[in-house]
Structure 1
Amino acid sequence: MQGGQPLSALSTPREAIRQFTPNWFAATMGTGILALALGQLPGNLPLLWQLGKALWLFNIVLFVAFTLLYAARWVLFFNEARQVFGHSTVSMFFGTIPMGLATLINGLIQYGLPAWGHVAVAWAQALWWLDVAMALSCGVLIPFMMFTRQDHRIDQMTAVWLLPVVAAEVAAASGGVLAPHLGDACAQFTLLITSYVLWACSVPVALSILVILILRLALHKLPHESMAASSWLSLGPIGTGALGMLLMGADAPAIFAAHGLAEVGAVAAGIGVIAGLLFWGLGLWWMLLALLITARYARTGIPFNLGWWGFTFPLGVYAVATLKLGALLQLAFFDALGVVLVLALVAMWLLVAAKTTTGAYRGNLFVSPCIAGRDVQPVAG
């Protein structure tokens, strides 16, 4: 997670570029999932749908701006930028880039398709394959660097380890959104099969990390308060795992039937609902635990940093999975709880967005831990 430095320390705009890190893309994840959730609330209220669309358009601007800033850092400060690969925390945030992009892709289907027609689907399909490539790269290369280049200790482990791994299952869930809108049956089948493989590349690995994390917490207790938001990150792969199975299972009957595999599609649909429910139940346990942990941290105060965006995306994807269960099972409980979770997400997003805007204006959040030890001392944002 990042701290910051006073605005006066940022002598030029180049210094903000020099200190820019992938952590900022976590803001596009939180903003994107809120935009999607607002458009999926029960009742299909036009005002909320329009608000969600506006937020999605804003998130596009945000993502493009962050991409340009980070690309500029690699061009202008290459030797410092590449130090990120050796950093045991900041390197994990490479996973936030494809996950932030996935929210834009889903928005192309949810908001772009009604407004722009099939061109939105074409853009979504092209960007989805790019997202897949980035997600798989993060999910394989970052763990490889953990094993070969970086220094890690079990007592310093946090749920940040999940970020590069979870990107693949976020892409899988996005594939579940996109697949039924493709015009070609072969393209649908290829995309759906790829999504199942992505889910398998991510969820079992994420669950393995969660097992280690529980052991770490039991042996070494809670991490430093600057990492408080990381307690919510574990909800991310669980909620996304549930949502992915629900979405892919909903697509499976028609897509498999078009290839003479109707029986497989029916089984996949059933597995999607059951697996979605099971993961949702696990997510409920972790969400309650995260609430208790956050309350414990709040007693002594939680310093603000970009890691606070970790409060938003996991809660948002769990809320969307809850709403999806409500729509599939026609149970008012899931609808009502989904609305409550989205309201909580709105409140948290407003808080974190306001603090981020203030910190960015003051320069407090522009610091790269990879080089901070050499020339600046990070402080809480």
Structure 2
Amino acid sequence: MRFREKKRYERADDEKDQPPEFVGLRDRIVHFTWPWFAATMSTGSLAVVLGNTPNTFRGLQTIGKVVFIFDLVLFLLFNVLMTIRFILVPRKLFASLHHPVEGLFHGTYWVSVALILNCAHIYGNANTGPWLPKALEVCFWIYCSAAFIVGVFQYSMFFRLERLNVTDAVPAWIFPIYPLLVVGTLAGTILPAQPNGPSWNIFVGGVLLQGLAWVVSFLMYALYMQRLMTGSLPSPTTRPGMFVSVGPAGYTAAGLISLANQAPTFIGANYWTDSPSHDGDIVRIFGIMSGLFVILFAYWFFFITTVAVLSGVRKMSFSLNWWAFIFPNAGLTLATIQAGKVLNSEALNGLASALTIALVIMWFVTAFFCVRAVYRGEVMWPGKDEDKTMERIGWGWQSNRNNPEARRVIVRDGFSQNV
């Protein structure tokens, strides 16, 4: 089943496609889409940054814990709303996974999980027993397996069921592989509490999966750059989503430097070579240099996107893309923190603190406009969300309850057939 956007003149002539003025609560919940988990991504990434920022003050850890707890509450609430949505309209479960807009954001759910695991170690390791490191080890491998499956499964569905235009390429095309982009930082976070055997496995797994995610992201970068060079910028409302392009390089740099900095503690002196130099030190040098090699790439995209956003700020209205002001730039901040740590640079530490303050400010700004948009019916409203082009799936629970077309769809050779 494919999803096609109707042409503008067709929409104007079709009154059935006009968003209704009044809807019930169930109809609004039905339009609770995957991009909402960008909010938990942003909140979780903010908590991770607060737990790692170099210039601290008394009470900062408490603030970080509060943000983490709030992130947990949001994540549980969003899970409940998403479950209700799929109970009310079961067809939207599969449809949402390969929808050319909403489906791309399914990865935000899994990134939210990874950030929760990060926070569990940062804020819980010092206050719990030996069970937490073991639990995080198990959760790490479960998460890696799930993230790998998502990366393969979702791209396979897009390749088979959808046809996306390169002229519409956006950084969100990276999202199916995004859950693997944060594996390196997750591994680097939980490594200090792991015993030697598991720590080595986590180290290797983190490097392998981070490498996969970075290479796939780099391929998507090429398509995105082609769009920017031959087409036009995204609409002002969706331009904050351009910050997603900052994340891959930022999280990769942060993950590589974090892992490399810990390599000498669990890699033997002559594990790979007979050199008098410690093999762990060699890995540390190469890892740090690799991270520093890509970090400015993240800053380059950050400035490119900032200019694009500022050029259209007067025409900008709220969309869930606004949460991209936070979570990709959190990766850039973490990379800066790691770089400042290994280079012993007070300037980089100061820059990291400035970025942290900016993230906090942007989180409050985005949260305010998000709540206001829900209140005004600008999001979670029939015809206004990412699922508005789902064919033959009526708006809300009431319009699907007696709709024979909403029962089941078989996809054959890219065409949908109701049964």
Q: Tell me if 1:181 matches 2:193.
A: yes
Q: Which whole-Å CA distance do the structure 1 matches of 2:87 and 2:197 have between them?
A: 40
Output aligned runs, 1:1-381, within 5 Å: 9-12=22-25, 14-183=26-195, 185-257=196-268, 260-261=271-272, 263-298=278-313, 300-367=314-381, 368-371=385-388, 375=394
What residue identity is the alignment partner of 1:79?
Answer: R
Supply the AA of the counterpart residue of 1:343: I
Cα separation, 2, equivalents of 1:151 and 1:174:
33
SS in 2 for 1:234: helix
User: Given that residues 135 and 171 in structure 1 are in contact (C-alpha distance below 8 angstroms), is that contact kept between their aligned partners in structure 2?
Assistant: no
Q: Distance in 2 between matches of 1:78 and 1:376?
A: 13
Q: Output one character per residue of 1:50-75: Cα deviation in whole Å (capped at 9) or x when no partner.
A: 10111011101111221222233333
Q: Name stretches of at least 5 consecutive residues in structure 2 with no aligned partner.
A: 1-17, 397-419
Give, as a single letter, the amino acid of the residue that structure 1 aligns with 2:205.
T
Alpha-carbon distance in structure 1 between the residues aligned to 2:42 and 2:380? 19
Cα contact 1:84–1:91 (8 A) shared by 2: yes
Contiguous gaps of at least 5 residues in structure 1: none
Change (3 A) 1:295 1:81: same
Verify the 8 A CA contact 1:99 1:171 in the aligned structure 2.
Answer: no
CA RMSD in angstroms, aligned pairs only: 2.3
Cα deviations by residue, 1:194-231 (Å, 9 ceiling, x for unpaired): 11111121001101211221111010020222321121
Aligned counterparts of 1:174 and 1:144: Cα–Cα separation in 2: 26
Using the TM superposition, name which of 258-267 and 72-81 deviates more: 258-267
Counterpart amino acid of residue 207 in structure 1 = F
**1:94, 1:164 within 8 Å by CA — same for their partners in 2?**
yes
Separation (CA, whole Å) in 2 of partners of 1:338 and 1:354? 24
Give the SS at the match of 1:197. helix
CA contact (8 A) 1:22 1:96 kept: yes
> Residue 76 of structure 2 aligns to which amino acid in structure 1?
V
Q: Distance in 2 between matches of 1:75 and 1:163?
A: 25
| 1:244 CA displacement | 0.8
How many pairs are equivalent?
370
Alignment CA distance shift 1:6-1:212 (3 Å): closer
CA–CA distance in structure 1, aligned partners of residues 50 and 33 of structure 2: 29
* 8 Å CA contact 1:22, 1:97 repeated in 2: yes
Partner of 1:89, secondary structure, is coil
Q: Secondary structure at the match of 2:299?
A: helix
Distance in 2 of aligned mates of 1:217 and 1:70: 34
Determine which structure has more spread, i.e. the larger CA radius of gyration.
Answer: 2
Q: Are the aligned partners of 2:257 and 2:287 in contact in 1 as well (CA < 8 Å)?
A: yes
Query: Cα deviation per residue 1:121-168 (whole Å; 9 max; x = unaligned)?
Result: 233223322321232122112211221101200111111101111210
Give the SS at the match of 2:52: coil
Please state whether the residue corresponding to 1:229 is helix, strand or coil: helix
Q: C-alpha distance in 2, partners of 1:88/1:253? A: 44
Deviates further, 360-369 or 31-40: 360-369
Range that drifts further, 37-46 or 146-155: 37-46
Q: 1:329 to 1:121 in 2, by over 3 A?
A: same
AA matched with 1:346: V
For residues 8 and 124 of structure 1, what CA distance do their matches in structure 2 show?
47
Bigger shift: 334-343 or 254-263? 254-263
Deviation of the 1:42 alpha carbon: 2.4
User: Residues 235 and 286 of structure 1 are in contact (CA less than 8 Å); yes or no, is this contact kept in structure 2?
Assistant: yes
Contact preservation (8 Å) 2:55, 2:349: no
Q: What amino acid is aligned across from residue 341 of structure 1 in structure 2?
A: L
Q: Is the 8 A contact 2:100 2:162 kept in 1?
A: yes
Q: 1:253-275 CA distances to partner (integer Å, 9 max, x unpaired)?
A: 22222994584422221122111
**Partner Cα distance (1:126, 1:7) in 2:** 47
Is the CA contact (8 Å cut-off) linking 1:96 and 1:167 kept in structure 2? yes
Distance 2:334 2:281 in 1: 23
Q: Secondary structure at the match of 2:115?
A: helix
8 Å CA contact 1:106, 1:124 repeated in 2: no
User: Partner of 2:408 in structure 1?
Assistant: none
Report SS of the residue matched to 1:44: coil
SS at match of 2:162: coil
Distance across 2 between alignment mates of 1:251 and 1:6: 54
Q: CA deviation at 1:8?
A: 6.7
